[in-house]
Amino acid sequence: MTYYLIAGERSGDLHGANLIRAIRHHDPDASCRAYGGEQMEAAGAKLVRHYRQMAFMGFVEVARNLGTIRRIMRECQADLLATRPDVLILIDYAGFNLRMARFAKRHGIPVFYYISPKVWAWNPGRARNIKASVDRLFTILPFETTFFAGYGYDVTYVGNPLLDALADFRPDPDFRRSIGLSDAPVVALLPGSRRQEITAMLPVMLAATRRFPACQFVVGTVSNLPDTLYDSILADYPTVRRVSDSAYDLLHIATAALVTSGTATLETGLFNVPQVVCYKTARWWYEIGKRILTVPYLSLVNLIAERAVVPELIYDCTPDRIADELTMLLPGGTKREAQLDGYREVRQKMGEPGASERAGGAMVAELKAMLAMHK
């Protein structure tokens, strides 16, 4: 059977690669074509376009690149019709993928969605639109089953693929020495994987480090962005080290972390590393966001726990506020043990690894049943 997958960012590439391997396990003759990245290509997909050409973040950035986004979408639609796969599998990346879902549905191509759009966070009514254009939704967060049930949509909960990635992770025993670190506490700085996140968040995180001369700070960088981007920001911080594409090795040795809001907050929690969640935005945008968002938290850790386990600094994300919170999370700090207790609760709610395998097996079975019905 033929599968067409679309992932528009780095985390989607990782989860897409694991999904492809699971699909090929259950369907050895599977042919996969993808918008994604190196990891999906390495898993066996024919890569049509790299996600770095599609990763636009925020209203202004999207508006500035609207012409490019529309051109890429037209190209994707044309390629989808030219190849006519047995199924289109969409991975997160809601702004682009929900439009592709509607397009595929109009042209009679079955649609599966893996890692649900976060409609529970804003405009929950869009769940009806997903139900109308997606044949089967495979969710990864425990509370999503109840949410979609409220709209009469029976979804398939497969667990979280981050648990798979962590189960497969094998730490480098020489990592600390290889990047020149001593035995002093290490604080990981994870500013994100998009240019806009890094230019907004990394300078603020770095400014907070000046209050901690006894700690070692290491920035987790990503290879899909140029070194020169980090060079200019790190120029005034000669003692701060960096490692590329090694976030898990970094978290494995970290005592605490400063993390830009996103998937990395949950990864940090699963590594049991106390963290400060950072997201810098203007006060006026924060006030608008409060009226749009329908959930009480930004971080996945807090959303899964259904309470404030980790601090979320948004409009008040200043170096001093970050440093104050970090102080309370370092060994001996007043909030460290409470956060670690919250992490245990989150892991219990998330269940066991195997999400990618469960999703791949369910997709192959579902697609076979659909094709059999139309014979």
Q: Where are the domains of the chain?
A: 2-159+354-373, 168-350
3-class secondary-structure state, position 209: helix
Q: Locate 11 and state its tokens.
A: 């985390």
- The 10s digit of each residue's pLDDT in 116-150 is 887 766 677 778 888 999 999 999 988 888 888 88
Choice among 9-13, 16-20, 132-136 with the minimum mean pLDDT: 9-13
* Mean pLDDT confidence for 189-207: 92
**Which pLDDT score, from 0 to 100, does residue 62 have?**
58
Task: Label residue 155 by pLDDT band (50, 70, 90).
Answer: very high
CATH architecture of 168-350: 3-Layer(aba) Sandwich (3.40)
**Which pLDDT score, from 0 to 100, does residue 134 have?**
95
Report pTM.
0.77
Beta-ladder partners of 138: 114, 156
Are 2-159+354-373 and 168-350 the same fold in CATH?
yes
Residue 143 amino acid letter? F
**Which pLDDT score, from 0 to 100, does residue 55 have?**
61
**pLDDT > 50? residue 286:** no
**Which pLDDT score, from 0 to 100, does residue 344 have?**
95
* Mean pLDDT confidence for 30-55: 90
**pLDDT > 90? residue 339:** yes
* Mean pLDDT confidence for 110-115: 95
Rounded percentage of the chain residues whose pLDDT exceeds 70: 90
Q: Going by CATH, does the domain composed of 2-159+354-373 fall within 3.40.50.2000?
A: yes
Contact 217, 253 (CB under 8 A): no
Long-range CB pairs of 316-324 (<8 Å, 24+ gap) are 317/201, 317/204, 317/278, 317/279, 317/280, 317/281, 318/204, 319/204, 319/207, 319/208, 319/210, 320/208, 322/204, 322/205, 322/208, 322/258, 322/276, 322/278, 323/208, 323/211, 323/212
